[in-house]
Amino acid sequence: MKITVAIPIYNAERHLNVTLDSLINQTMDSSEFEVICVNDVSTDNSAAVVESYMKNHNNIKLINRTENSGGPMLPRNDAINAAKGEYILFLDNDDFIGEETLERFYKNAVENNSDVIFGKYVGVNGRKVPRSMFKFGNLPKAEIVEHNLVFSLAPHKMFNVDFIRKYGIQFNEKAVVGEDQLFVMQCYINAKVITVLTDYEYYYVVKRGHENLSFKYFPAENFYYSFNNIMTTIKESDLSPLYKTELSAAFLKRFYETSKLRRYLLTNKLTAEQKKDWLNETKKFIDNHVNDELINLLPSLFHYFVLIAQENDLQKLLMVHKQMDKVSPNQVTRVENGWIYANFKYSRKYLAYDSEYPVNHLNTSDVFVDDIVLDNTHFEISGQFYQSLLINMNVKNELILVHRSSGIEKRFKNNLLNKSGQFSFKVDYRDFVVDEKSVGPWDVFIEGIIDGYTKRRRLGQARNNDLKIKQHEEIHEAKGFIDKITHSNKEKEAGPKKEIIIDPVRSFGKKYTVRAYFTKDHDNLSFDVKMTK
């Protein structure tokens, strides 16, 4: 048996047929996979729906639990224990898979000796699904951190059965929140090979009405059970020390971004007493698992939250959170080692503090291009680069050309304007047109730099209404130019257009053309380099 498909079922009568239909229509022969449906004491006709399919499909099986487990954890474990396949795929009872999913999964899993394999998700009815791990194309051997796998911790994947049995990995019945994350992270950490496929729409995740059920309270200790275990699993694993740190930071970033924690503590969902309970458990979690090194690897958005949670001061947390929305440049005290620090003050009878916290996430920027001028040997770009929190700081601006295919960067630091927020650069084409490796598009950026803090913006989209691309008049008759600028009134009225070709540019004995243009999709400035004979 190649694959076991495990489906935990609870009151799924209305949509279970869609799930099962996607399985009976698989391109893989039905003799090569089994479907184990685990009925968690449904109160509707879910079991009858499965039984109706069993009459015509002998690879579909039904396990009826005698006691409701309260979640999908134990039904999935039942399927693991009963599985006869080499691999097990977990499928929710209201989702479905593409017709070629099992065949493609198995083929790639065998070829790559995969312990874990999953493919591109598709959201149905407005369901949001993770995407960042699929932007890299097919990954026969994916990396957890490098390929953003921590943002795909749902169990909608296929696992090698011998692998999960060898490591004794099962769904933890004590985990009322994040039980799937705990299971998948344990698999990620122990897996020799994780395969990610993007060449087909493999798994369809369906949004149902029950996802909008009202808020249900449970103690913070229960909430943290899975996440404490995940951090402990990372800490006690055989991973290298540096990778443990990187993985811990990546998971914490996901945890603070996507979990309900901040919504519970920073909104009115909980009472004051409940918030105290949650903040107390949060302090324990941070004290046990989050050191200064990890805090510095988190985005600044979470720094104040973590630091004040360590103090276990609910009122200060709520007040600083409120003040965050109103941070001004006048509050910025320093920029150091890549962090913008702002001062937060408050003084009342029962709450007073004077603290600094990073506010990088609040620093917005605008870039505006005043002029773009080209001649036979140089181009000139001038404009303004404004950063909302750094108007009182001495920010150094650099022009950066990035070769689109190789990622090679050429930096120009000779800003002709010393005023903070303004820039003017004059660049010789031969500074980036060097050899055959220079051929292809170069995209143009401006980057502001101050004590390790950098903010980069693409150039071209925001510019003077009349600005396109200009040429110096002294080269208006040069061979190979389009958009020739003459002294005729007619052509002056027409104005500059969206591209200009400079021909030739001589570098190390070879000839090149340089085309300055605005990109079609985003209207940003680029230079396209081509060799000429």
Q: Tens digits of per-residue pLDDT, 27-69?
A: 999 999 999 999 999 999 999 999 999 999 999 999 999 999 9
When pLDDT is cut at 50, 70 and 90, the band that residue 281 belongs to is very high
Distance (Å, whole) CA 515 – CA 41 = 68
Output the pLDDT for position 521: 81
- Parallel, antiparallel or unpaired: strands 396-403 and 409-412: antiparallel
Question: What does the chain come to in residues?
Answer: 533
| Nearest alpha-carbon partner for 159 in 180, 187, 192, 189 | 187
Residues of the chain with pLDDT > 70, as a percent, come to 92
Helices 272-289 & 303-311, crossing angle to 10 degrees?
100
Structure tokens at 371: 């002029």
Distance (Å, whole) CA 255 – CA 250 = 9
Distance (Å, whole) CA 28 – CA 98 = 11
Q: What does the domain layout of the chain look like in residue ranges? A: 3-211, 220-362, 365-532
Distance (Å, whole) CA 165 – CA 184 = 14
Distance (Å, whole) CA 290 – CA 468 = 51
For residue 270, give every residue at least 6 positions away whose Cβ sits within 8 Å of its Cβ, in sequence order, or none: 217, 264, 278
**Per DSSP, what are the bridge partners of residue 34?**
4
What distance lies between CA 450 and its chain's CA centroid?
Answer: 26
What distance lies between CA 428 and its chain's CA centroid?
Answer: 37
Q: What is the DSSP letter of 389?
A: T
Angle at alpha carbon of residue 99, lines to 187 and 207, rounded to 5°: 70
| Nearest alpha-carbon partner for 210 in 318, 323, 289, 92 | 92
Whether the CB-CB separation of 33 and 26 falls below 8 Å is answered with yes
Cα of first residue to Cα of last residue in the chain, in angstroms, is 61
| Coil, strand or helix at 191 | coil
At 361, the amino acid letter reads H
Consecutive H or E run containing 294: helix 292-296
For residue 451, give every residue at least 6 positions away whose Cβ sits within 8 Å of its Cβ, in sequence order, or none: 335, 336, 337, 338
Whether the CB-CB separation of 460 and 524 falls below 8 Å is answered with yes
Per the prediction, the chain carries an average pLDDT of 91
Distance (Å, whole) CA 529 – CA 511 = 10
Fold exhibited by the domain 3-211: Spore Coat Polysaccharide Biosynthesis Protein SpsA; Chain A (3.90.550)
Sheet harboring 470-471: ordered strands across? 422-428, 378-387, 365-374, 470-471
Residue 371: CB atoms within 10 Å: 14
Per residue in 380-398, pLDDT tens?
999 999 999 999 999 999 9
What distance lies between CA 80 and its chain's CA centroid?
Answer: 31
- The pTM score is 0.88
Distance (Å, whole) CA 30 – CA 52 = 17
For residue 238, give every residue at least 6 positions away whose Cβ sits within 8 Å of its Cβ, in sequence order, or none: none
Per residue in 449-470, pLDDT tens?
999 999 999 997 777 766 656 6
DSSP alpha helices (H): ranges in 300-405? Answer: 303-311, 314-324
Please check the confidence at residue 212 and state whether its pLDDT lies above 60. Answer: no
**Residue found by looking up tokens 């090698």 in the block:** 160
Output the pLDDT for position 466: 62
Per residue in 61-94, pLDDT tens?
999 999 999 889 999 999 999 999 999 999 999 9
Sheet harboring 203-206: ordered strands across? 96-97, 203-206, 121-124
Output the pLDDT for position 176: 83
| Nearest alpha-carbon partner for 282 in 251, 254, 307 | 307
Burial class (CB in 10 A: 0-12, 13-18, 19+), 43: exposed
Output the pLDDT for position 209: 61
Per residue in 125-176, pLDDT tens?
888 999 999 999 999 999 999 999 999 999 999 999 999 999 999 999 888 8
Per residue in 294-343, pLDDT tens?
999 999 999 999 999 999 999 999 999 999 989 999 999 999 999 999 99
Distance (Å, whole) CA 114 – CA 158 = 9
* DSSP characters over 84-142: -SSEEEE--TT-EE-TTHHHHHHHHHHHHT-SEEEE-EEEETT-----GGGTT--BTT-
| Nearest alpha-carbon partner for 76 in 171, 215, 208, 206 | 171
Check the CA dihedral 308-310-311-314 and report its sign.
positive
What distance lies between CA 261 and its chain's CA centroid?
Answer: 19
For residue 240, give every residue at least 6 positions away whose Cβ sits within 8 Å of its Cβ, in sequence order, or none: none
Output the pLDDT for position 288: 97
Per residue in 362-374, pLDDT tens?
999 999 999 889 9
